[in-house]
Amino acid sequence: MSDKKLWSGRFSQPTDAFVEAFTASVEFDRRLYRYDIAGSIAHARMLARAGILSEQERDAIVNGLTKIQQRIEADGFEWSVKLEDVHMNIESALTDEIGYAGKKLHTGRSRNDQVATDIRLWLRDEIVEIRQGVLKLQHALLDIALKEADTIMPGFTHLQTAQPITFGHHMMAWFEMLERDRERLADCSRRMNVMPLGAAALAGTSYPIDRHYSARLLGFERPSENSLDSVSDRDFAIEFSAAAALIMMHLSRMSEELIIWSSAQFAFIELSDSFCTGSSIMPQKKNPDVPELIRGKSGRIFGHLISLLTLMKGQPLAYNKDNQEDKEPLFDSVDNVKGSLRIFADMIPAISCRRDNMRTAATKGFATATDLADYLVRQGTPFRDAHEIVGRAVSHCVEKACELSDLSLQELQAFSPEIGKEVFEILTLEGSVAARNHVGGTAPDQVRAAIERARVRLSEQ
Ligand code: ARG
Q: Give pLDDT tens digits for 115-154.
A: 999 999 999 999 999 999 999 999 999 999 999 999 999 9
DSSP 313-374: HTPPSS--GGGGGGHHHHHHHHHHHHHHHHHHHHHGGG-EE-HHHHHHHHHSS-TTHHHHHH
**Rounded distance between C-alpha atoms, residue 220 and residue 120, angstroms:** 10
Answer yes or no: is pLDDT of 1 > 80: no
Alpha helices by DSSP H, listed for 193-319, are 211-217, 227-232, 235-261, 289-313
User: What class does CATH assign to 361-459?
Assistant: mainly alpha
Q: List, in order, residues 6 or more apart from 290 with CB less than 8 Å away.
A: 271, 275, 276, 343, 347
Q: Using a 6 Å CB cutoff, which residues line ligand 1?
A: 25, 29, 85, 111-112, 115, 319, 321, 323-324
Answer yes or no: is pLDDT of 338 > 80: yes
**Rounded distance between C-alpha atoms, residue 76 and residue 247, angstroms:** 37
Q: What is the pLDDT of residue 195?
A: 98
Mean pLDDT of 15-28: 95
Q: Answer yes or no: are the C-beta atoms of 110 and 201 closer than 8 Å.
A: yes
**Rounded distance between C-alpha atoms, residue 75 and residue 90, angstroms:** 14
Strands (E), 129-245: 152-157, 160-166, 194-195, 222-223
- Determine the atom of ligand 1 nearest the C-alpha atom of 326: 4
CATH for the stretch 122-153+167-192+220-355: 1.20.200.10
267-311 pLDDT, tens digit per residue, is 999 999 888 888 787 888 789 999 999 999 999 999 999 999 999
Q: What is the pLDDT of residue 3?
A: 81
Which protein residue has the closest C-alpha to ligand 1 atom 12? Answer: 324
Cα(82) to ligand 1 centroid in Å equals: 14
Side-chain-side CA neighbours of residue 197 (13 Å): 35
Percent of the chain with pLDDT over 70: 100
Mean pLDDT of the chain: 96
- Determine the atom of ligand 1 nearest the C-alpha atom of 111: 6
C-alpha distances in Å from residue 45, one per residue of 50, 61, 67: 9, 9, 17
Which protein residue has the closest C-alpha to ligand 1 atom 4? Answer: 324
Q: Name the DSSP letter for residue 273.
A: G
Q: List, in order, residues 6 or more apart from 447 with CB less than 8 Å away.
A: 145, 149, 166, 168, 169, 172
Cα(4) to ligand 1 centroid in Å equals: 17
Query: CA torsion sign, 447 to 450 to 456 to 459?
Result: negative
Cα(34) to ligand 1 centroid in Å equals: 17
Better-scored residue on pLDDT, 5 or 177: 177
Domain boundaries along the sequence of the chain: 12-107, 122-153+167-192+220-355, 361-459
- Measured at the CA of 232, the angle between CA 230 and CA 234, to 5 degrees, comes to 90
Percent of the chain with pLDDT over 90: 92
Q: List, in order, residues 6 or more apart from 440 with CB less than 8 Å away.
A: 446, 450
Answer yes or no: is pLDDT of 455 > 90: yes
DSSP 439-455: TT---HHHHHHHHHHHH
Mutate to test the pocket of ligand 1, among 28, 79, 84, 112 (most ligand atoms within 8 A of CB): 112
**Rounded distance between C-alpha atoms, residue 325 and residue 307, angstroms:** 9
**Rounded distance between C-alpha atoms, residue 87 and residue 118, angstroms:** 10
Mean pLDDT of 229-257: 98
Which protein residue has the closest C-alpha to ligand 1 atom 3? Answer: 324
Mean pLDDT of 357-380: 95
Catalytic residue annotation: 158, 279
**Rounded distance between C-alpha atoms, residue 424 and residue 406, angstroms:** 10
Q: Name the DSSP letter for residue 15.
A: P
Mean pLDDT of 21-33: 98
Better-scored residue on pLDDT, 461 or 229: 229
Cis bond before residue 21 (omega within 30° of 0): no
Answer yes or no: is pLDDT of 2 > 80: no
Query: CA torsion sign, 281 to 284 to 290 to 293?
Result: negative
Q: List, in order, residues 6 or more apart from 278 with CB less than 8 Å away.
A: 285, 286, 287
Mutate to test the pocket of ligand 1, among 6, 80, 111, 117 (most ligand atoms within 8 A of CB): 111
Cα(327) to ligand 1 centroid in Å equals: 11
What is the biggest distance separating any 2 CA atoms in the chain, rounded to whole angstroms? 101
Better-scored residue on pLDDT, 31 or 287: 31
CATH topology of domain 12-107: Fumarase C; Chain B, domain 1 (1.10.275)
- Determine the atom of ligand 1 nearest the C-alpha atom of 25: 1
Cα(376) to ligand 1 centroid in Å equals: 71
Q: Answer yes or no: are the C-beta atoms of 456 and 177 closer than 8 Å.
A: no
**Rounded distance between C-alpha atoms, residue 87 and residue 40, angstroms:** 9
Q: Name the DSSP letter for residue 245.
A: H
Q: What is the pLDDT of residue 6?
A: 85
Q: What is the pLDDT of residue 385?
A: 96
Q: Whats the size of the chain, residue-wise?
A: 461
